[in-house]
Amino acid sequence: GQQLNQSPQSMFIQEGEDVSMNCTSSSIFNTWLWYKQDPGEGPVLLIALYKAGELTSNGRLTAQFGITRKDSFLNISASIPSDVGIYFCAGPDTTSGTYKYIFGTGTRLKVLA
């Protein structure tokens, strides 16, 4: 089945720094979703991407749908302490003919004040 590989698995950064994380797959995705999960909470949708090459921003967050449709990245500019959490990429499973979503393993972000 389809898999999504996220990197890095975790990262420590200083407040104010920019952050970049990515998500790759060996197969094509038609939609890329980026979520953030705070401790003890459900994931919250940050950005949805629907077209190859699409670049979308949400405040300090910017995400892009890779041209090959096999990757996506998420950038966070000028990080702040509340950016701490786990970031997941996800996409609908296009190989099984079902309504399932494939989730990456997550990037755990820790911001040092």
Partner 1 sequence: SQTIHQWPATLVQPVGSPLSLECTVEGTSNPNLYWYRQAAGRGLQLLFYSVGIGQISSEVPQNLSASRPQDRQFILSSKKLLLSDSGFYLCAWNQGSGTEAFFGQGTRLTVV
Binding residues (CB under 8 A) for partner 1: these are 30-31, 33, 35, 40-45, 48, 88, 90, 92, 98-101, 103-106, 108
Residue 107 CB, shortest distance to partner 1, in Å, is 11
Residue 4 CB, shortest distance to partner 1, in Å, is 10
> 79 vs 107, which CB is nearer to partner 1?
107
Q: What angle do CA 57, 54, 30 make, to 5 degrees?
A: 120
3-class SS shares of the chain: helix, strand, coil, % to 5: 5, 50, 45
Residue 59 contacts by C-beta under 8 Å, 6 or more apart in sequence?
none
Residue 69 CB, shortest distance to partner 1, in Å, is 13
